[in-house]
Amino acid sequence: MNFSRQCHDRNSRKALGEPGLLFIILLMASVAVGQTNQGSISGNIFDPSGALVTGAKISARDVSTGAVYETVSSSAGAYKLPNMNIGTYDLTATAPGFKTAAYKGVVVQVATTSALDIRLQTGTVSETVSVNADVPTVQSESSDIGTVVSTKQILDLPLPLGSTVQAMRSPEAFAFLTPGVVGPGSDSGNGGTFESKITGGQNYATEVLLDGAATTRSENGSSFDETAPSVEALGEFKILTSTVPAEFGRTTGGIESFNTKGGTNKFHGTLYELFRNEDLDANVWGNNYCLANPTSNLCGAPRSTYARPLDRQNDYGGTLGGPVIIPHLYNGRDKTFFFFSWEQYRQTQGGVTTSTVPTAKERTGDFSEFIGAPLVDSHGNPVINPCNGQQILQGQIFDPSATTTVGGVQCRTPFAGNILTPSSTVGQNILSFYPAPTTSGIANNYSFPFSFPILDTTTTFRIDQNISQKSKAYFTYSSRENVRISTSPQWAGPSGYGRNQFFGTHYLRFGYDYAFTPAMLNHLNIGYNRTNSKNVGAGVALGGGKDFPQVLGITGGPFGKIFPSITQTNASNMGDNVYGDTIDNGFRFNDSLTWIRGKHEIKFGYEQWYQQYSPLNFQNTSGTFGFTGAQTATFGTAGGASVDERALTGNSIASLLLGQVDSANYTVYQDQARWLRSYFAGFVQDTFKITPNLTLTYGMRYEVDQPFKEADDNTSNISLTAPNPAAGNLPGALVFGGKGCRTQWRDQ
C-alpha cells in the first residue's frame, strides 16, 4: 500500500475529545467532603423539645495542634465544618438561653463526614454539659461507600517485603481489606498491588490521591505502590468504592485517598528495622550434600554453586514530628508543625551465572579442540568436500575467502589443523571484552558469583501552618528512588554486567483553606508529580563515557556510549544496548467553594491537569552485530548428503576473528517525542436537607479529557478516508502533523 504525505493546521489537532457529563441524584445524605485528604463534621442542632436551633455557634479545636474551625447553624438548624485536617477534636456549641454543649474526642477521618447531632439544654452559656464523643459514629451524613484504613491498622498489620514491583512495604496492600477489591494480592503478579480492581473496575484505572491531588502517570496510570511514600509517613487513607460525589471523575473503579502525617504540639519519633538474612534460610538437600562431599562425582560444579543464595533484606528508617521551635526566636506551638519521615529498603540477593567464553586458544585462532568425528550420511557413506575430496569433519573451520565451485557445487577449503590467522582487528577487540575462562572446556566454562542489589529510599516532609482561625495551609514533599540491577550479570565490566534500573518520584502538594464567613469556605489544592524511569545498560553505567564503537574500531555509522550488542552461537552474547529515560511531569490544580445557606449546602469546584510525557529512547544507537558459524562452515558436499553439514561445521568465534558478520543493524533517532495532554473539569452539587432525617443530594460534573498530542506536531496517523495520490486517490493515507500547514485533516 502506498501512502501520501499530507499536512494540516496545527490548531486543527486541538480537538477536545468527547466531553463527559455526570449527573448524580442521591437520596440519603451526601458529600462535599472538600478535597479527599481532609474530613468534616456535620449534623443538626436541637433544643430539649426537638426543635431545630438556628444561629448556634459551633467551634472545633484539634487536640493535637490547637487548630480551630468555626461555623454557625443555618436557618434550617444544620451545621457543617468542612475541610478539616484529620485528627481528634473537642467541639463546643453555644447559643443564647442554652448551656454550652462540649463534645470530647470527635474523630475526623480522611474523606469522611463525621455525623454529630448536638442537643442543647436550657440554661446559661456559662454552664457546660460535657459529652464523650469518641465512639464510632454511623455515617448518616454521607452516601459514598468506602472503607477507612486507620493509622493503627497501617502500623499493626503485617506487610510483605521484597515483592515484585515495590520491594519495600506497600501501603496499597491494605486496599484488599475493602469489600469489593479484588486482585493478585500483595506479592503476586508482575504488576504488584496496583493490579487491584475496585468494584469491577479495570487494572490501573483506580484514581489514587495523595494529599488531595491525583498521582496518575501517563505510562501506567495508578501504579502508586512503586512511587508511594513510606508506610510510616501515612496517617490513614480511605477507599471509595461506589456512589462517589460529583467532585470526583476519571475513574472506572474506585478512589484511593492517602494522607501524610502531620506534626502536633508534642514531639514524637520512631526508629525501626526489619531484618532478613540467608543465614536464617534453609538450603536444598542436594546442595547440602555437595557442600559436605565436594569430591563426589555428583558435585562437579564450583562450591559457590551449592551455597545458599544471598538473601539479605533490611528495611529501616525513622520519623520525627512536632512543633517548629527556634529557641529565643519562634515558638510554633498551636501554629506551625513539621513531620519528617525517611525509610530505606536494602536487599542483596545473589547467584551464580554460567557462561561460555572464548578460550585462550580460540582467541589466537586455534580451534583444534573443536575437531570431531568424520561426518557420514544416513546410509553411512562419508560426506565428501568437493574442494579437496576429503571427508568433512564435525567442528571443522572453513576459509570463506577460498569459496569456489567444483562440479557445479560451491565449496570451501578448510583451515589446516583447524587453525586460522585472525584478520579482523574489530573481532579481536570484541574478544578482549570477554573474561578468561574459570574452568577447562570449551562450553559453560565461566562462572560468575554476583550480588544483586536492590535499594529503595523514600523521604517525606510536611509543614502545617495555622495562619488564623480563618486560614490554614500545608505543604508536603515526598520523594522516592528505586535502584536495582534488573538483569543477571554475566561478568564484571561494561560488556557483561547487568542493566541498571532507576525509578525516581517527586510529589509536591500545597493546600490552603480560607473561611470568608462561617458559612462560606474555599479550599485550594495544587500538586506536582514527576517520575523518571531509567534503564541503562552496563556500557553506559560502567563505561566512563567511552564511545564504544570507536573503541572497538567499528566505523560507518554506529556511535555512542552504549556497548554494542554482540550475539554469537558459540559463545555467550555480550553487550546490553538499552539506554532510555521515561520522564513524566504532572501538574494539578483544584479549587472548591462550599456555601451553606439555609437548608442548602452548595459546592462549586474546578479541576485542571496538565501532563508532559517524554519517553526518551536511545536503544541500539551503537548497533547490534550477529555472528554465526555459517560464514566459516562448509558450502557443499559431493553427491548431496542427507545431514546438515553446515550446522555441524563452522564457528561463530572464527567468523568474528575473520570479520565475517552474519547480521548487523543500528538505529538513528531523528527526534524524541514529547507528548502533552490536558484535562479540565467543573462540578456543582447541592445537599438539600428537606428534613433533619431526609437529605437530597444532586450534582453535575462536566469533563473535557483531551488526547495526547506531540509538542511539535511530530507525529502521524493513518486515515482510512484520506485520498492517496500515489494509489490513484484511493482512500487510505498517512497524515502527518506539522507547523504552518494550511490543509486541515477533517477525517479524524
Largest Cα separation within the chain, whole Å, is: 124
Give the range among 113-117, 524-528, 591-595 with minimum mean pLDDT: 113-117
Read off the pLDDT band of 380 (50, 70, 90).
Answer: confident
Q: Is the pLDDT of residue 139 over 60?
A: no
What percentage of the chain carries pLDDT values higher than 90? 49
Is residue 108 domain-shared with residue 210, that is, in the same domain?
no
> CATH no. for residue 208?
2.170.130.10
| Alpha-carbon span 554 to 556, nearest angstrom | 7
Is residue 327 domain-shared with residue 197, that is, in the same domain?
no
Contact 125, 254 (CB under 8 A): no
* Mean pLDDT (whole number) for 193-211: 74
| Three cell numbers, residue 458 | 523514600
State which of 597, 624, 651 marks the end of a domain.
624
* Mean pLDDT (whole number) for 464-491: 93
pLDDT at 701: 92
* Mean pLDDT (whole number) for 151-178: 74
Q: Would residue 2 count as lying in a domain?
A: no
Q: Would residue 42 count as lying in a domain?
A: yes
| Alpha-carbon span 366 to 420, nearest angstrom | 6
Q: Is the pLDDT of residue 30 over 50?
A: no
Per-residue pLDDT tens over the stretch 203-222:
677 888 999 899 988 887 77
Q: Would residue 216 count as lying in a domain?
A: yes
Per-residue pLDDT tens over the stretch 240-257:
777 777 887 777 777 888
Three-class secondary structure of residue 125 per DSSP: coil
State which of 241, 260, 279 marks the end of a domain.
260
Contact 181, 197 (CB under 8 A): yes
| Three cell numbers, residue 679 | 484535562
Is residue 600 domain-shared with residue 471, that is, in the same domain?
yes
Contact 216, 223 (CB under 8 A): no
pLDDT at 36: 60
Read off the pLDDT band of 270 (50, 70, 90).
Answer: very high
pLDDT at 693: 82
Taking all residues of the chain, what is their mean pLDDT, rounded to a whole number? 84
Q: Would residue 171 count as lying in a domain?
A: yes
Give the range among 225-239, 566-580, 607-621 with minimum mean pLDDT: 225-239
Is residue 256 domain-shared with residue 163, that is, in the same domain?
yes
Read off the pLDDT band of 639 (50, 70, 90).
Answer: low
What is the bridge-based pairing of β-strands 100-108 and 128-132?
parallel
Is residue 480 domain-shared with residue 554, that is, in the same domain?
yes
Contact 427, 659 (CB under 8 A): yes
* Number of compact structural domains in the chain: 3
Closest by CA position to 166, among listed 119, 229, 255? 229
Is residue 117 domain-shared with residue 169, that is, in the same domain?
no
Cell numbers 473496575 label which residue?
Answer: 201
Q: Would residue 160 count as lying in a domain?
A: yes
Q: Would residue 406 count as lying in a domain?
A: no
Q: Would residue 287 count as lying in a domain?
A: no
pLDDT at 633: 93
pLDDT at 207: 84
pLDDT at 739: 46
Three-class secondary structure of residue 58 per DSSP: strand
Q: Would residue 736 count as lying in a domain?
A: no
Is residue 216 domain-shared with residue 326, that is, in the same domain?
no
> CATH no. for residue 46?
2.60.40.1120
Q: Is the pLDDT of residue 190 over 70?
A: no
Is residue 171 domain-shared with residue 254, that is, in the same domain?
yes
Is residue 332 domain-shared with residue 477, that is, in the same domain?
yes
pLDDT at 138: 54
pLDDT at 687: 86
* Mean pLDDT (whole number) for 621-635: 93
pLDDT at 86: 86
Is residue 542 domain-shared with residue 620, that is, in the same domain?
yes
Residue 242 identity (one-letter amino acid): S
Read off the pLDDT band of 642 (50, 70, 90).
Answer: low
* Mean pLDDT (whole number) for 168-195: 66
Is residue 526 domain-shared with residue 502, that is, in the same domain?
yes
Q: Is the pLDDT of residue 5 over 50?
A: no
pLDDT at 166: 66
From the CB of residue 281, how many other CB atoms can be counted at a distance below 10 Å? 11
pLDDT at 7: 38
What's the domain range around 178? 146-260
Is residue 150 domain-shared with residue 232, that is, in the same domain?
yes
Cross-strand pairs, 367: none
3-state helix, strand, coil in the chain (%, to 5): 10, 45, 45
| Alpha-carbon span 85 to 108, nearest angstrom | 8
Give the range among 573-587, 592-606, 728-742 with minimum mean pLDDT: 728-742
State which of 624, 640, 665 marks the end of a domain.
624
Residue 717 identity (one-letter amino acid): N
342 vs 161 pLDDT, higher one: 342
Read off the pLDDT band of 146 (50, 70, 90).
Answer: low
Q: Is the pLDDT of residue 35 over 50?
A: no
Contact 400, 631 (CB under 8 A): yes
